[in-house]
């Protein structure tokens, strides 16, 4: 008999490798990446760091944490960095949940929350949403004496919707103090001004609230793998205990530090995405599509008939006629939707034209 794994095997998946039937360039609008290459300062920092790649990076990301503290007005000692923020979501869950414990999420919460619970053998509990928005009362009602961690992304992926900071505050106030509340701000920069800063304030007011952030989305460094978590002072050393020695490689640290030194570029890119988001939402709604109000860098939408079969046909049409790759949401209750990342105006135009062709 072979050794018995605790986990079911997962197929190895690459990025999409199907040939485009018309030979068109393939444009990936599926992963919520930014469409721009790193700014010159970041590319330069990466090149510079590569010349020292024979050495380990700082295991505790000292310079990066200092830069984050400076940029966000936070105490660097209350920040821990990770190999992307998904790494930290895992670390947090590992510290607080074991088989038999419950991890609570919102009905259409981020898929990684479910995968994290599965990896640990913890029980996943989903609280119903109202109209594709997180329902704070439903979450609070779903807490049991086995609940250990509550994961909540705002804006959420894949819905793109978010709830105001007042609701987050109500959740933090109403939650039992021995449940860790993880507020995932992966798309926080695309939400209205001040959303991130106000969310961080909840960490100062509660000993059980942490915020996770990433360089993958608004900072456009998905391939570098850098994320961070801001938490109460007591929790940081506990998180260090659960993770590997140096999960954030030296190049990623250098890139993230450089990105923080050029916030102008980040703001410009976020503003461009927000503007395109409004344009696409308007046009698609006019065409009769059902578009959820997005505060992220993607839209979740369904064709006018809201029929999963039409959605499937549209996804095939987008690839076959325009080379566009979007994401099919397969979660129960989201079968009628596809998720498309907001890209450059010319790519977004290709998307709109293909949708028009499909609806004609």
Ligand X SMILES: *Cc1c(COP(=O)(O)O)cnc(C)c1O
Q: List interacting residues with ligand X (CB under 6 A).
A: 32, 84-86, 110, 153, 157, 184, 186, 214, 216-217, 222, 227
Tokens of 183: 């507020």
Direct distance between the N- and C-terminal alpha carbons of the chain, in angstroms, rounded to an integer = 58
> Of 146 and 328, which has the nearer Cβ to ligand X?
328
What is the phi-psi region of residue 178: left when phi exceeds 0, alpha when psi lies from -120 to 50, beta otherwise?
alpha
**Cross-strand bridge partners of residue 359:** none
Q: Which residues contact 332 (CB under 8 A, 6 or more apart)?
A: none
CB of 161 to ligand X, least distance (A): 12
How far is residue 288's CA from residue 355's CA, in Å, rounded to a whole number? Answer: 11
Residues 251 and 215 sit within 8 Å (Cβ to Cβ): no
CB of 84 to ligand X, least distance (A): 3
> Of 247 and 323, which has the nearer Cβ to ligand X?
247
| Residue whose Cβ sits closest to ligand X | 84
CB of 304 to ligand X, least distance (A): 27
CB of 320 to ligand X, least distance (A): 27
User: What is the rounded (10 degree) CA torsion for 45, 342, 307, 314?
Assistant: -90
> Of 246 and 317, which has the nearer Cβ to ligand X?
246
Residues 330 and 299 sit within 8 Å (Cβ to Cβ): no
CB of 132 to ligand X, least distance (A): 15
CB of 53 to ligand X, least distance (A): 21
Residue 106 CA: distances (Å) to CA of 136, 146, 180, 309: 9, 17, 15, 26
Residue where the block lists tokens 């129960």:
332
CB of 317 to ligand X, least distance (A): 26
How far is residue 10's CA from residue 14's CA, in Å, rounded to a whole number? Answer: 12
> Of 186 and 322, which has the nearer Cβ to ligand X?
186
Q: Could you count the other beta carbons within 10 Å of the beta carbon of residue 237? A: 10
> Of 184 and 336, which has the nearer Cβ to ligand X?
184
Spatial CA neighbour of 256 closest among 203, 300, 220: 220
> Of 38 and 303, which has the nearer Cβ to ligand X?
38
> Of 97 and 153, which has the nearer Cβ to ligand X?
153
């Amino acid at each position: 008999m072979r050794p018995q794994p605790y986990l079911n095997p997962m197929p190895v998946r690459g990025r999409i490798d199907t040939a485009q039937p018309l030979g068109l360039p393939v444009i990936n609008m599926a992963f919520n990446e930014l469409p721009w290459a790193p700014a010159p300062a970041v590319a330069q920092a990466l090149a510079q760091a590569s010349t020292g790649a024979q050495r380990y990076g700082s295991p505790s990301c000292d310079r990066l944490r200092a830069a984050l503290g400076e940029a966000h007005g936070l105490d660097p000692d209350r920040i821990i960095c990770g190999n992307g923020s998904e790494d930290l979501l895992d670390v947090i869950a590992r510290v607080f949940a074991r088989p038999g414990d419950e991890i609570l999420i919102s009905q259409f919460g981020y898929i990684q929350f479910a995968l994290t619970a599965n990896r640990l053998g913890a029980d996943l509990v989903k609280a119903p949403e109202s109209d594709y928005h997180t329902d704070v009362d439903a979450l609070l009602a779903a807490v049991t004496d086995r609940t250990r961690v509550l994961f909540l992304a705002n804006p959420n992926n894949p819905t793109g919707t978010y709830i105001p900071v007042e609701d987050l505050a109500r959740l933090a106030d109403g939650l039992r103090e021995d449940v860790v509340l993880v507020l995932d701000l992966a798309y926080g920069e695309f939400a209205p001004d001040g959303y991130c800063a106000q969310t961080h304030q909840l960490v100062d007011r509660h000993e059980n609230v942490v915020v996770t952030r990433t360089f993958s989305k608004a900072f456009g460094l998905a391939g570098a793998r850098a994320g961070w978590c801001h938490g109460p002072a007591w929790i940081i050393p506990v998180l260090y205990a659960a993770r590997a020695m140096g999960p954030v490689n030296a190049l990623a640290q250098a890139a993230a530090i450089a990105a923080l030194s050029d916030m102008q570029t980040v703001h410009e890119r976020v503003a461009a995405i927000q503007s395109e988001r409004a344009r696409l939402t308007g046009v698609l709604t006019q065409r009769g599509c059902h578009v959820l109000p997005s505060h992220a860098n993607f839209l979740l939408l369904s064709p006018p008939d809201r029929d999963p079969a039409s959605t499937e046909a549209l996804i095939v049409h987008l690839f076959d006629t325009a080379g566009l790759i979007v994401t099919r949401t397969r979660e129960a209750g989201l079968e009628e939707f596809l998720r498309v990342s907001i890209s450059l105006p010319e790519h977004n135009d290709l998307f709109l034209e293909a949708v028009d062709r499909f609806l004609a």
